Amino acid sequence: MTSRDSDHQYRLPQHFSLLSYNIQMGVDTARYRDYVTQGWKHVLPHRARMQNLNRIAALLSRFDMVSLQEVDAGSLRCGFVDITEYLAHRADFPHWYRQVNRNIGVIARHSNGFLTRFEPTEVSHYKLPAAPGRGAMVFRFGETREAFTLCSMHLALGRRAREKQLGIYVIQEQRIQVSPMRFRVPDICVLSGGRPPEAVFTSPPFVCIEILSPEDRISRMQERVDDYLAFGVGYVWV
């Protein structure tokens, strides 16, 4: 955890801009075949990397907070430059944070990064389950009722691994029994702790999501929301 100006306090704005960016170690890939032809650039240093990072920094400078994936904390492949710190300086971010998830010594230091113009009041680091080498950083901003928490992470590519890392399951158009004589089929259900074995869910999901269409009416949508809440659904998103 690093800050260029830890003594200066920032007042959190009501609105801020946020970006999540997988920078792929500053490797410029425009086509699928580039992942093969330029794969060596993920292992060895090359001249174009710093030019690409400078272009990335110009983009990052437009935002207030940036979550970075596939950065390096300083190894042979990036010329022993801490990429998170480098981008923070180039884009004029006063606070930056890094999380090394896979340390292979001088060869590579796979990391997540986070840049912010507002100093967080608390920062926590976590290792994600499933395959090793993935992590999450959780930032809390403020201490009052207006305080908020932001999580920066790099999930695995596989669906099952992601579900295990998040601890949630997302299901489309799942039938749920909200009362003895009534069933609902939300557009999306979010479950925590595991998927029930039954075809029709009789336990409330963590979140029910309804996607509005031009044919929807407020009264009917309110009936659905009331049914979900009475059933015990934690959150209903419309």
pLDDT tens digits for range 174-191: 888 888 888 998 888 888
Q: Where are the beta strands (DSSP E) in the chain?
A: 2-3, 18-22, 65-72, 95-103, 109-116, 122-127, 135-141, 148-153, 168-172, 176-179, 182-184, 188-192, 207-209, 235-237
Stronger pLDDT, 31 or 85, i.e. the higher one: 85
- Residue 87: φ, ψ to 5°: -65, -35
pLDDT of 36 strictly over 80: no
pTM of the model: 0.65
Q: Of 4-8, 46-50, 73-77, 219-223, which gets the smallest average pLDDT?
A: 4-8
Highest averaged pLDDT of the listed ranges 35-39, 193-197, 203-207:
203-207
pLDDT of 215 strictly over 80: yes
Query: Which tokens is 45 given?
Result: 């240093």
Do residues 113 and 98 lie in contact, with contact meaning Cβ atoms separated by under 8 Å? yes
pLDDT of 67 strictly over 90: yes
Domains of the chain: 2-156 (3.60.10.10), 167-237 (3.90.1570.10)
Angle (deg, nearest 10), helices 83-90 and 48-60: 50
Q: Return the C-alpha torsion angle 225, 230, 233, 238, nearest 10.
A: 10
The stretch 44-57 carries a mean pLDDT of 80
Query: Which tokens is 149 given?
Result: 């928490």
pLDDT band at 30; cut points 50, 70, 90: low
pLDDT tens digits for range 123-161: 998 887 766 778 888 999 988 777 888 888 877 666 666
pLDDT of 11 strictly over 80: no
d(CA 219, CA 156): 41
